[in-house]
Amino acid sequence: MESDSQLVARAQNGDQHAFAELVRRHSALVFRLAVSILGQEFVPEAEDVAQEVFLKVHHAIKSFRGEAEFSSWIYRITFNQAVNLKARVRFRSPHADETVLNRAVTPEPGPDRQFETAQRDQTLAECIRTLPEVYQSALRLHYWLGAGVGEVAVLLGVPENTAKSYLHRARQLLHVMLKEKGYSCD
């Protein structure tokens, strides 16, 4: 199996099959990173980001100098694309409204408990949105998409200890914010 650097060299010489293999190898992680930044309710936008990323990579592959890993380069492009899109649509409503999302949970708890849970979840989401982008992404990748710390590090293009630090700091900040809003985090 060829390495990414070998495929990049072939793609730089116009080999479309090599570029298609790079897309195949990295498309799932590019999409996951985009979802981690935009939020799970913006899957169609994350798909658009992934397509835009691969278009940018296709146009810029000849200028890729190999000073960093190809995966780091493409994930940095993804991160920037998703953050830019998020800034443009920051306060837009998700595709499904809250009633649809609440019904999708579980019908077992009573209405009071459902309301409390929805309120807590909404407060948590608001607190997460106030965190720095890298903390938001680290949390979403780890907790919503099930990525391990090593995978979070790769997707964010940072050392594993930095990814651990991002997760730790994000949890600390969320704990303080939720406590200030009257929620117990124990």
Cα separation, 21 vs 107, in Å, equals 44
- pLDDT over 50 (residue 31): yes
CATH 1.10.1740.10 residue ranges in the chain? 4-88
Residue 166 confidence class, pLDDT cut points 50, 70, 90:
very high
The answer to whether 23 and 43 are in contact (CB under 8 A) is no
Q: Which pLDDT does position 162 carry in this prediction? A: 95
Cα separation, 24 vs 13, in Å, equals 19
- pLDDT over 50 (residue 14): yes
Complete DSSP assignment for 5-45: HHHHHHHHTT-HHHHHHHHHHHHHHHHHHHHHHH-GGGHHH
Select the CATH number that applies to the domain covering 98-180 from these four: 1.20.120.160, 1.10.10.10, 3.40.50.300, 3.40.50.150: 1.10.10.10
Q: What is the pTM of this model?
A: 0.62
- 93 vs 168 pLDDT, higher one: 168
pLDDT in tens, 96-153: 555 554 555 555 666 777 777 778 888 888 888 899 989 998 988 888 778 889 888 8
Q: Which pLDDT does position 72 carry in this prediction? A: 86
Q: Is 164 buried (19+), middle (13-18) or exposed (0-12) by CB count in 10 A?
A: middle
CATH 1.10.10.10 residue ranges in the chain? 98-180
Percent of the chain residues topping a pLDDT of 90: 44
Handedness of CA 42, 44, 47, 52 (dihedral sign): negative
Maximum mean pLDDT: which of 71-75, 150-154, 161-165: 161-165
Mean pLDDT of the chain: 85
Class of domain 4-88: mainly alpha
